Structure 1
Amino acid sequence: MTTEIVQGLPSTHGDHYQLNTTTLIRHSARTYPEQEIVYRTADGGWDRYTYADAYARIICSANALRSIGVGPADVVGILDWNSKRHFELYWAIPGLAAAMLQMNLRLAPEDLGYVTGHSDASVVLVDESLLPVAEALAPYAPGVKTWIVMTDKPLSEIATSLPGVVHWEDLLATADSEIDWPVIDETSTYSACYTTGRPKGIYYSHRGIYLHTLAQAAGLGMRSDDAVMLITPMFHGQSWGLPQAAVYSAAKVVLPGRYVAEDTSVLVDAMITEQVTVANGAPAIFQPMMDYIKTLDVAPDFSRTRLLSGATEPALSLMRDFYEITGADIIHAYGATETTPLVAINGPLKPSLRGRITDEQKWDLKRSQGMPVNGIDIRIVDAEGNDLPHDGTSQGEVLLRGPWIIERYHKLDDDADKFSGGYWRSGDVGRIDTNGYLKLTDRLKDVVKSGGEWISSIDMENALVGHPKIKEAAVVGVPHPKWQERPLALVVTVDGTEVDITEIHGVLDGTFAKWQFPDTVLFVDALPRTSVGKLDKKVLRSRHADLYTEKR
């Protein structure tokens, strides 16, 4: 496929006008100054202000950063929850042509120190509640010259071992309230995010973020009468691009601050109070939300609500529960840190399928990752790199390219194996059907290779949670002396009691061949997850690597 750029006639349009992200908030603050932003406070309460109020603080934030020397190409890190200040910094830092470093506060101090040093971050803003994280990080981040504490308390009341701490609100109080935003080359970095595992840097451009924003807003049908809650952490992958899409649409924004997966009642209660119509999150968050909803005397009316679901495939039972109990539509999507992240979205049913498929077929289709968004090219290739047909059965690695897809990793010279012919190699295994719907079947590293055949761990997991007594399931391939690998199922049950293996095989029968059934099922209290809510199968494979060799 050619990558040659062909020059046609020059246009008369404003091609010099750069796609800068700050123009998004500037426009909405001017046009919808009264629109609300609702945020959770440090004491667990709620408060609100307007787009106009936020934009005024964004200007002061940019000027405050300038006053301590932040300028173009500098890297500024943030350690914070989904908060009011974090939202403001989303616009202030990139607006100076500096790069916003998204710092995953769940990483180990050594890994977070690597991220800070590799990115050359010189300034870090940290919420008061996360000072212990910053203090643990500091010995591994000698390049950070300024630590800024974000708190409503006076600095005299803050006890910390961080060197040379600056008080953020004090800086804002003396900052200029007017600004002439610089015109930034749209290919400049807007923000930086690092993967988990061995951290690799992905640096997003203003142009990529801007175009991704348009695709995100269109894919979710977002408008100014929407209320958007940011559940996915803002410190990872721009909260999947929802903050920018909300602002582009001039929608009401709801920032839930700090919450824990074990108690998502604060999220549900806020959705009810603020009439949230768009939210994002992983099934690991949506499931406890549904568990809480089922305890309420009256189910909330979320009939206008679209729940953007990522990280792992949502169980069909979870999607049905949300729709049948609350009216909410869980919209399955696909993306990665390297893809900004939106690649495909399972929105409204394709018009050509209306009236042609049954309700059950519609529900089964909702398990797919949906249609590729406009601007993204997807290839499905075999092990030799040959394109596979879009017939719904041929499966291979998913390759991606587009205006917001990574072309290289930051300061990583040995990344050639991650790219092929201008496409990023996702490491995901999938297929595309004749209607254009993408369905991931596994990760290359997670697919179970048994007797020369592949078994989809994802499909088996989703089949298992169809059993009424099974709450969560993980399937991994573990070494086997005869078959190379055999699937091992690890199951969390609803009430903590074990389920007979014949019942488990029963829910798999018809979807899987009998030789594909797991020989062993282990019942566990919880499944390990990564910092972004994905099943940590690397941990599971390591724990049980000797399962079948020990049985010999």
Structure 2
Amino acid sequence: MMDTQLILTGFLKRAERYFPNKQIISRTSPTITHRIAFKDYVKRTRRLADALKNIGMTRGTKVGTFGWNHHRHLEAYFAIPCSGAILHTINIRLAPEHIVYIINHAEDEILLIDEDLFPLVEPALAHLKSVKHIIIMGDSLGVPTSSFPNVHNYEQLLQEADENFEFPEDIDEYSQAGMCYTSATTGMPKGVVYTHRSIVLHSIALGLAESFALKENDVALPVVPMFHVNAWGLPFAAINYGANLVLPGPMFTPALLLDLIEQEKVTLAAGVPTIWLGVLAEQERQARDLSSLRQIISGGSASPKGLIQAFIEKLGVPYVNAYGMTETSPLVSMSHPTSEMDNYSADELLDLRVTQGLTSSLIETEVVNENGPVPNDGQTMGELRIRGPWIASEYYKDERTVDSFRDGWLYTGDIAVLTKEGYIKITDRTKDLIKSGGEWISSVDLENALMSHPAVFEAAVIAVPHPKWQERPLACVVLKENAHAGKDELIAHLENDFAKWSLPDDVVFLKEIPKTSVGKFLKAKLREDLKDYEVPL
């Protein structure tokens, strides 16, 4: 067989040759939306590669991006790695000290920054050790006033660059193509490096029927940020498969997302559960036509059963859970039912849809505890471990590699069980699992059950110290607007599905639950805020 290299340049060539008229719909401000044909997108991408080369980008150069989901960010997705350099997508919602840390740790030499985000970065410029050039991405041709010596305008650079720039043909598929840092809840973020091979294989996997089933006639809306695990690989895959891409840009709202779905006939959208909770509430307030949607992909954290049920039964939109991490590119598993479940009842199917699903092709997973791999009994807990061709083998220049990568496996820190069908069901993070009187209690199961109550908008469950039982669960609840429910009602709502000893001892009502930069519940902050809380005896 031919030894052809799996590199991203092939995706660009394919888009240019076979899908020249497909569209990128890119919102860059509340009043500006661009419609760019793939053929013009590829020309702009070649121009960007030439422009970056002209200011010093060479093979192995780290180029950081600090931007929203839009066409300029998408141009960087290919211009940088196809030139042999490394795309470093920077989480714009990280704390300033974390942003400084990851730019310095990655040794970024060039930064591409959205015009409206430059004020967030400017105070940190004096602390950046390796950055030589900053490029401002925006619709204007100006640059902000700055003491930094080399600040360029993106569109100006493109005007002066060559649209016929030729990408090198001799890039090795195992060479570094991109990197992303985890959004750490404790300690500094950890860097994960992706290769051309891993991104290509992951992108192709998104076209499989068992995953996203992405294809040419799709209109894909990645709500998940392009700075977070490559927007789950959707931008790369859409260019390869010729699917139209809708990029929502800055400061979007649930109303805007619904408008985009209706106006652009979106067929597939991907985002975290908190996004879909907001979309559901807005759709109930003012309905839009969602008939084009064939699938909602949700990941990043567990989806409440009530949310999944509402999308499927009220809105008529299939809602599929997916599981992954920054370290896994991220696709690991998805909760599609199989043909063996054709006779399952609606409740049985819903129970499966709540899980993290069946392991994807080419990926291997195990749930292990001190006794080895756990049985498919839905009860025995263990830590999920993963290996495969798009799973990281180490953290970038980080001694914490030894904690997570052992014996050829990534140990995720996620506690899971396996259903009788072999579906993965995450029950907790190792650090969030509640141990009470020698028994393990899943905070995730309690949270999902609480969020199935009609009055509950969000719920997080944490462990609090207890003098007798070591730890006890405490429920932190945000009620829906104008809704009412008390502690006794919410505890009673759980009683049919949980043993009495696993029920929360108390309920704290909050205005909002703190979240990480990518929308996950920030339980470390909750535990800190409630560290002096005493569970009623």
Summarize deviations over 1:359-408 as a string: whole Å, max 9, x none.
Answer: 111111110111100011111111x3622222322220000000011111
Find 1:95's aligned residue among 63, 82, 96.
82
Aligned residue number for residue 2 of structure 2: 14
1:274 alignment partner AA: E
Are 1:249 and 2:241 an aligned pair? yes
- 2:297 alignment partner in structure 1: 308
Asked if 1:220 corresponds to 2:212, the answer is yes
TM-superposed CA distance for 1:305, in Å, is 2.5
| C-alpha contact 2:262 2:288 (8 A) present in aligned 1 | no
Paired residue for 1:68? 55
Residue by residue over 1:408-441, the C-alpha shift from the partner in whole angstroms, topping out at 9 and shown as x without a partner, is: 1111134212122110110001112232211111
Structure 1 position 140 matched with structure 2 position 127: yes
Q: Is the 8 A contact 2:451 2:458 kept in 1?
A: yes
Instruction: Say if 1:110 and 1:304 are closer, same or farther in 2 by CA, change over 3 A.
Output: closer
Match of 1:408 among 387, 394, 419: 394
- Which region of structure 1 is more displaced relative to structure 2, 411-420 or 532-541? 411-420
- From 336, 346, 353, the counterpart of 2:341: 353
Residue 43 of structure 1: how far off its partner (Å): 4.3
The residue correspondences of 1:17-416 to structure 2 (distance < 5 A) are: 17-155=4-142, 158-182=144-168, 183-197=170-184, 198-218=188-208, 219-260=211-252, 263-296=253-286, 298-302=287-291, 304-347=293-336, 349-355=337-343, 357-382=344-369, 384=370, 386-416=372-402
Could you give the per-residue CA deviations for residues 70-120 of structure 1, whole angstroms, max 9, x where no partner exists? 011110001110011001110000011100011111112211111001111
Deviations 1:510-539 (A, max 9, x none): 211111111111001000000000000001
Secondary structure of 2:323 counterpart? strand
Offset of 1:498 from its aligned partner?
5.4
Given that 2:447 and 2:460 are in contact with CA atoms closer than 8 Å, whether structure 1 keeps it comes out as yes
Match of 1:6 in 2: none
The DSSP-based 3-state class of the residue aligned with 1:300 is coil
Name the count of aligned residue pairs: 531
Is the counterpart of residue 512 in structure 1 residue 498 in structure 2? yes
Task: Please report how far the alpha carbon of residue 161 of structure 1 lies from its aligned counterpart in structure 2 after TM superposition.
Answer: 4.0
TM-score (norm 2): 0.96
The alignment partner of 1:342 has SS state of: coil
Q: Is the 8 A contact 1:303 1:328 kept in 2?
A: no
User: Measured at CA, do residues 300 and 43 of structure 1 come closer, stay the same or move farther in structure 2, by a change above 3 Å?
Assistant: closer
Q: Does 1:522 align with 2:511?
A: no
Corresponding residue SS for 2:101: helix
When normalised by structure 1's length, the TM-score is: 0.93
Q: Assess if the C-alpha contact under 8 Å between 1:463 and 1:508 holds in 2.
A: yes
Mapped contact 2:415–2:427 kept (Cα < 8 A): yes
Which letter does structure 2 place at the counterpart of 1:324? E
SS at structure 2 position matched to 1:241: helix
Query: Shift in Å at residue 277 of structure 1?
Result: 0.5
CA distance in 2, matches of 1:396, 1:133: 41
Residues of 1 paired with 2:75 and 2:98: CA distance?
26
Q: Is the 8 A contact 1:39 1:254 kept in 2?
A: yes
Deviations 1:204-250 (A, max 9, x none): 11101111111122111111111001110001100011111212221
Are 1:419 and 2:434 matched, yes or no? no
Name whichever of 389-398 and 95-104 sits farther off: 389-398
Conserved 8 A contact 2:258-2:288: no
Distance 2:273 2:423 in 1: 21
Counterparts in 2 of 1:43 and 1:462: CA distance versus 1, 3 Å: closer
Query: Distance between the aligned counterparts of 1:55 and 1:199, measured in 2?
Result: 33
- Counterpart of 1:359, as a letter, is A
CA distance in structure 2 between the aligned counterparts of 1:333 and 1:137, rounded to whole angstroms: 36
Code of the aligned partner of 2:407: G
What are structure 2's unaligned runs of at least 5 residues?
none
Counterpart-to-counterpart distance in 1, 2:136 and 2:230: 21
- When structure 1 is superposed on structure 2, of 44-53 and 359-368 the one drifting more is 44-53
Q: What is the one-letter code of the residue matched to 2:159? A: A
For 2:42 and 2:371, how far apart are their aligned partners in 1? Answer: 48
**How far apart, in 1, do the equivalents of 2:422 and 2:292 lie?**
27
396-405 vs 211-220, which moves further: 211-220
1:47, distance to aligned residue in structure 2 (A): 2.4
Give the conservation status (yes or no) of the 8 Å contact 2:69–2:226. yes
Question: Matched residues in 1 for 2:441 and 2:292: separation?
Answer: 37
CA contact (8 A) 1:299 1:325 kept: no
AA of the residue aligned to 1:232: V
SS of 1:60's equivalent in the other structure is helix
Alignment of 1:482-501 (within 5 A): 482-495=468-481, 499-501=485-487
Residue identity opposite 2:342 in structure 1:
R
SS in 2 for 1:214: helix
| Conserved 8 A contact 2:297-2:319 | yes
For 1:309, give the aligned amino acid: S
Q: 1:512 to 1:43 in 2, by over 3 A?
A: closer
> Does the CA-based 8 Å contact 1:103-1:112 persist in structure 2?
yes
Q: Are the aligned partners of 2:28 and 2:250 in contact in 1 as well (CA < 8 Å)? A: no
* Range moving further from structure 2, 370-379 or 138-147: 138-147
Q: Distance in 2 between matches of 1:69 and 1:363?
A: 54
Superposed CA RMSD in Å reads 1.6
Same amino acid, percent of matched pairs: 38
Q: 1:481, 1:548 within 8 Å by CA — same for their partners in 2?
A: no
Q: 5 Å matches for 1:536-547?
A: 536-547=522-533
SS in 1 for 2:24: strand
**For 1:510 and 1:458, how far apart are their aligned partners in 2?**
17
Stretch moving more, 38-47 or 285-294:
38-47
Q: Closer, same or farther in 2 for the Cα pair 1:122/1:545, shift >3 Å?
A: same
SS of 2:399's equivalent?
Answer: coil
- Given residue 75 of structure 2, which amino acid in structure 1 is its aligned partner? E
